[in-house]
Chains A and B, each alone.
Chain A
């Protein structure tokens, strides 16, 4: 069955450093992959979408890579700030009339 793995343990980093979050998937060949941010008590917020033919995508301080050979996506936040503290979810998708399955998320804590 399809499986999506994200670091289950919280990631603590110092303000100003680059945070790197990992998303691995198995038994899956997604056409693209999405990343979301979720704050406590709120719904997830869409951040970035990367397609299988794109190796890297950037948006401001965010960078996502997508390696279909390794079946892995990396999510980077450069110059991290305490306001970046949240849970980050990855969601591989095959597109079309297919449900999107979310990973359990990685909790990021940026320490001032």
Chain B
């Protein structure tokens, strides 16, 4: 039973390039969350998706960031025209969302470095 998978684990981009981060949830989980974590800081919620739907994107910057979770394939977090401030660890989590049981299972994260 594979856990949440994220790739790549490390990603280096120059300023102005695009970053694509992928997340495959655990088998049977149809809800995906993306978080950003800066060094020595807490997890900051970005977006919550269900298959083909964005449920809550209140934590995602309005510009340059987008997320999707298509019917087939992994969830993608896309950052266009990256800037140095986008350097962080990005974690994806999935949950089964059974009544009163939405514990989240996290992937290993993608560490984005913008040079």
Which residues of A come within 8 Å of B, CB atoms?
A: 31-32, 34, 36, 41-46, 49, 51, 89, 93, 95, 97-105
Contacts and interface: CB of A to CB of B under 8 A. Distances in A.
Given A42-B109, A43-B93, A43-B109, A95 B102 contact: yes
26 contacts: A31-B100, A34-B104, A42-B108, A42-B109, A43-B109, A44-B43, A44-B93, A44-B106, A45-B106, A46-B103, A89-B42, A95-B100, A95-B102, A97-B48, A97-B55, A97-B56, A99-B48, A99-B56, A99-B58, A100-B33, A100-B45, A100-B102, A100-B104, A102-B45, A103-B42, A105-B42
Contacts of A42: 108-109
A97 B100 CA distance: 11
Contacts of B102: 93, 95, 100
Contacts of A32: 100
Interface of B: 4, 33, 35, 41-43, 45, 48, 55-56, 58-59, 91, 93, 97, 99-109
Contacts of A101: 45
A55 B107 CA distance: 30
A49 B78 CA distance: 32
A46 B103 CA distance: 7
The 5 A-B pairs at the shortest CB distance, nearest first, are namely A43-B106, A104-B42, A46-B103, A102-B43, A99-B48
B41 A43 contact: no
A41 B45 CA distance: 18
Contacts of B48: 97, 99
Nearest to B4: A43
A99 B45 contact: yes
Contacts of B55: 97, 99
A41 B91 CA distance: 11
A66 to B, nearest CB: 13
